[in-house]
Amino acid sequence: MSNVEDIYKLAPLQSGMLFHVLYDTTDANHYVAQSVDEFSGPLDVERLRGAWQAVVDRHSALRSAFVWEGLDEPVQVVQRRVELPFEVLDWRSWVSGEQESRLAELLEEDRVRGFDLGSAPLMRLTVVRFEDERAMVLWTFHHLLIDGWSNQLLQKEVFTLYRDGLAGTGSRLDTAVPYVRYLQWLGEQSRERAEEFWRGRLGDFAEPTQIALGPSTGESGFGDVELKLDSDTAARIGEFARAHRLTVNTVVQGAWALLLSRYSGSDDVVYGSTVSGRPADLPHAESIVGLFINTLPVRARVAAERPVVEWLRELQQEHVELREYEYTSLVDAQGWSAVPKGERLFDSILVFENYPHLTGDEDLPDGLDVRHQTGVARTGYPLTVAVSHTKERLLAEITYDRGVFERSVMERLAGHFGVLLSALVADPAACVGELEMLSGAELAELAAEWEAAAVGVADGATLHGLFEERVRECPGAVAVVFGDRSLTYGELNARA
C-alpha cells in the first residue's frame, strides 16, 4: 500500500464503461483508444519519453487502476509513481510499402493486447522510426482515464515540456488540479432531483429503439464507415443553425433522430448522446485531466406535421434541460425508465465533438511538424456515430458491430444520414414528415421497379377491382394481420 496515493469512486461514465467491459466478454478491448501522429523533423525520442513521463507524474487520473473484485462497488486506486511503457521500433531499413503494412498489423496487435485494468498505467507509447527525420508515434490508452478534451490538454503539455527541455528552462506549467475534485463535486449533486427529472422523461418509455436490419451476420469485431459532407453543405448547415438560433449539434441530433424513426418505424425514439460533462460551477474544470464526458438518453418524438425549425427548437430545449442533470449515471437513468431490467435502453450513441482545438502549430517545438494520421476508439454499443463540424466539412465516423450489421447496410445508412442532414436545412418551413431520406439514385431505382411491376396489369384495372377479384378467388384466405387479430379477404371486403 506504500505506493497508493488515493482511492475513490468512479465517475458515472467510468461505471458504465467498466460494466460493458466486464459484461461483454466477446471483445475484451472495448474503450481502448489509439492515436497515431506523424512527426517530421529531428525528433529527440528520449526527450519525448521524459515529457510524457512528466505528464503522467503530474496527473492523478493517468496513474489510476480499477478494482472491483470482492467490493460492493468498484473503485479507482491512484498510484504515487508509475512508469509509462515506452517502446521504440526502428524500421528505417524497410521499404515504404513494408512500413505501411506492418504499421497496420502493429495497430491491430496493440489493440488486441488491451490492458489489465487493475494495473496502472492504462496507457503506453510506441515510437516507430520510418526515416531519420520521420516517425510514427502511437499513443494507446483506455478511455476509462480521459476524454477528448483531456487528450488535447495532455498533448499541449507534452509539447510544452518538450520545448522547455530543449531550451534548458524549467517547466512553465501550473500545478495540476487532481481529478478527485470533480468526483467530490459529483457527490454534492442531488440524486433525488435527477430521479424526478428522468422519471418524467423516461417513466413511460418501455420499448428500446431498434434498427431492424436483419439477422446476425455471424461475423465478429467492429467496422468503420465515413460520411463526408462537402464544404458547401457544411457551410449551409452552419448558416441555417445561426439564422434560426440553433446549434449545429441540434441539427445533427435531429437528423439522427429522424433516421432512427424511419429505420425503426416508431415516432418515439431514444438514443444515447455524449455530453462534455465539465460543470461551469467547478473551479478549473477546463484544465482538469480525466473522464468528464457522460452518455445519457435523449428521447425524441418525431412529429411529422411539425415545421422543421419548430421541431428542432423543441429538441434543442430538451438538450438544454438535460444539461442540468448530465451528472446522472446511465445505470440510474435506465432504472428510472420503463424498459425491463436487463435490456438496453438504446443501441446507438451519437457523439458531437465540439470542444475547441487547444493545440496548434505554435505549440510545436521548432523544427518539428506533427500531423495526426488516425484515431481508433471502440465503445460497448453496436452503433456509434462521432460527428465533427467545421466551415470546411462535416465528418461522421460510424463504428458498427459487424456481428449485427453488414457493411453494405451501414454504407447505405450513412448515405441516408447525409441526405437527412441536407434536407433539414433546405427549407425551414417544410414539415418533418416531408423530408426525403433516400438519395436520387435510390428514388430512380424504386421508380424503375414500380414501373416494371406495373407491366402486365390489364388496362383500366384498379386496385379495388383487383382486390375484389382476389375476394372471389379465395374469400377465406387471411388478408391482413395486426398483433393477435386477423381478417380474411371476405371479412375485409365486407368492412370496406
The pLDDT tens digits for 325-379 are: 999 998 899 999 999 988 889 999 999 987 666 666 677 887 889 888 777 777 7
- The answer on pLDDT for 306 being more than 70 is yes
Say which DSSP state 61 is in: G
In the chain, which segments carry CATH 3.30.559.30? Answer: 189-347+382-445
- Quick one: CA dihedral 279, 280, 283, 286, positive or negative? positive
Residue 473: its pLDDT value, please? 63
Q: Are 76 and 107 in contact (CB under 8 A)?
A: no
Mean pLDDT of the chain: 88
CATH 3.30.390.10 fits 4-179, yes or no: no
Residue 27: its pLDDT value, please? 61
274's CB contacts (< 8 A; 6+ apart) are 293, 294, 295, 349, 350, 351, 352
Which of the residue ranges 77-81, 275-279, 280-284, 369-373 would you say has the lowest mean pLDDT?
369-373
Q: Are 361 and 331 in contact (CB under 8 A)?
A: no
User: For 117-139, what is each residue's pLDDT tens digit?
Assistant: 999 999 999 999 999 999 999 99
List the one residue out of 22, 28, 12 whose CA is nearest residue 297. Answer: 12
Alpha helices (H) in 336-461, listed in sequence order: 407-424, 440-454
Q: Are 261 and 433 in contact (CB under 8 A)?
A: no
- The answer on pLDDT for 24 being more than 90 is no
Instruction: Classify 189-347+382-445 by CATH class.
Output: alpha beta
380's CB contacts (< 8 A; 6+ apart) are 16, 17, 20, 21, 23, 24, 30, 31
Residue 457: its pLDDT value, please? 54
In the beta sheet, which residues pair with residue 297?
272
Residue 212: its pLDDT value, please? 61
pTM score of the predicted model = 0.82
In the chain, which segments carry CATH 3.30.559.10? Answer: 4-179
Residue 476: its pLDDT value, please? 63
Q: Are 74 and 15 in contact (CB under 8 A)?
A: yes
182's CB contacts (< 8 A; 6+ apart) are 11, 279, 282, 285, 288, 290, 292
User: For 55-93, what is each residue's pLDDT tens digit?
Assistant: 999 999 999 999 999 999 999 999 999 999 999 999 999
Residue 496: its pLDDT value, please? 73
Best mean pLDDT range from 19-33, 242-256, 363-377? 242-256
| CA–CA distance, 424 with 252 (Å, rounded to integer) | 9
- The answer on pLDDT for 311 being more than 70 is yes
- The answer on pLDDT for 171 being more than 80 is no
Confidence of residue 29 (pLDDT cuts 50, 70, 90): confident
| CA–CA distance, 10 with 73 (Å, rounded to integer) | 9
List the one residue out of 134, 364, 183 whose CA is nearest residue 291. Answer: 183
Q: Are 134 and 39 in contact (CB under 8 A)?
A: yes
Percent of the chain with pLDDT over 90: 63
Q: Work out the widest C-alpha separation in the chain, in whole angstroms.
A: 96
C-alpha dihedral (400, 296, 338, 191), degrees to nearest 10: 150
